[in-house]
Every structure is written in C-alpha cells, then in structure tokens.
Amino acid sequence: MTRQQLVEQIRLKKSYLCVGLDTDITKIPKHLLQEPDPVFAFNKAIIDATKDYCVSYKINTAFYESMGLKGWQSMEKTVQHIPGTHFTIADAKRGDIGNTSAQYAKAFFEALPFDSITVAPYMGADSVQPFLDYVGKWTILLGLTSNSGAADFELQSAGGGLLYEKVLTTAAQWGTPDNLMFVVGATKSDWFTKIRQLTPDHFYLVPGVGAQGGSLDEISRKAMNKDVGILVNVSRAIIFASSGEDFAAKAGEAAKAYQQQMEQYLK
C-alpha cells in the first residue's frame, strides 16, 4: 500500500485507527474453543465487526508464533482475510545482520502478504536495508517505545542528545516518508512535539492507547501532520471488549467509538 492510498483511506473512513490483533487464546470466548481454528474464528469475527471503523490491522506475531505451526496457519489465514483496503502490520520487531534480515523480509512480505513490519534499529543500517528494499512495503522502526524500559537506553544521552533522537534522525536518512514509519508510544505524549520536529513528514504507529492509558486527545493534537501522519493502535480495549458471545458486536461498538472521536480531530 502506498502512502497516498493510506491517506485516502484515512480521509474516507475519517479514522486513523489500527486494531491490534494480539489474540491470546486464553482470553478468547470459551465457546470458540470448539472451533477447528479458534484463533482465526475469533479474528475473523473481530475483523468483520471493525473493518468499517479502522484503516489498519496490526498482528502481534508473538501470540501466533507461541502456538507453533497452528499459530502460523492462523496468522496466515487472518492476514488473508483482512480487506485489501486496510494497511496490514506484522508486529514482529525483527532485526539482524543483513542476510538474516533479508530472510525475515521475505517471510513477511512474500510468504505472508503483509504491507509492513516492525523492526528494531539497534544493529544499524545494514540490518534494516533489506526491509526497505521491498517496493510498496513499509518498514516501521522502533523510535520511542511506551514501556518503562525505554528509560534504560532510548532516553539516555548520546552524542549531544538522547539516543532515541539519534535513532530517528539517522534512520530517517535510510528510507523516505513513503516507506518508513516510526513506532512512538502513546504514553510518551509529552515527547511528541519534539519528535514531530525531528521527523515532520513521517507516519507514526502509536501503540498504548486504551488499556495502557495513552491519551488519544494528546496524541491527536501533538502528533498530526498535513497527511494526518499517525496510526493509533488499540488492541485489548477493542478485541476483548467482551468475553461473551457478543464479543464481536462489542468490539465493533468500541472501534466505532474510537472512530467517532478521531473524526472530530480530522475536521
């Protein structure tokens, strides 16, 4: 998916919502456990109920990889069920020496038809380049994350600034705003003004709204650019809005509520 197509979908849907399919089999409604593929059955119902209100889906691969072959099969069926109008993210946080990264890129861009993948930048340019080499695909680089451990490295001084600032300004030269995004956690909303100054044209994937306590209002006011420039991910607050047989309907209601909030910021 191109940047223009993504922006068009945001404007059309009046939404910059990304639904996170962090599907924990221990949390899905019990009646689905009788299905041949409970995880896919859950995801399919969630996608069908939320697709009108979001522009993107993010699949956290750890929840699928932990189940071995069956998990990978569930993931493949899930990404294939997502409509082509929606931007798909493999939240895999890969990153290794060049020839290994090339295989990761092949796995998620060829064997699995994702539009993008999250990547850890700390092994440098040659570990990221294989992902950027794919035309029409996106690399989503970890910038400033929402976890408390961000203070251990990302917020440490480095070269006259903070390490995350060095990551953003350096990595921005590896790709372009048309193929490179950054992960910036919603719980770091106080930092968004500076981050937007450093990378004015890039899109941000913003996790941490909902169960993690990030503020949609603060993010929307501080992080948008002329093309909106943000995908706000919400996972548990949508997909686990109910643990009963009405789980899909409740997920749809939750997604619609976020979309209606976002519409106000897009006016």
Query: Which residues are known to be catalytic?
Result: 93
Type of residue at 59: I
DSSP-based three-state secondary structure for 214: strand
| Token pair for 2 | 């191109």
Query: What are φ and ψ of residue 145, in 5° steps?
Result: -90, 165
Of 266, 261, 241, whose CA–CA distance to 53 is shortest?
Answer: 261
Q: What CA–CA distance (Å, rounded) separates 111 from 88?
A: 14
User: How distant, in Å, are the alpha carbons of 81, 193, 217 from that of 223?
Assistant: 31, 7, 10
Q: What CA–CA distance (Å, rounded) separates 65 from 20?
A: 16
Q: What CA–CA distance (Å, rounded) separates 254 from 238?
A: 5
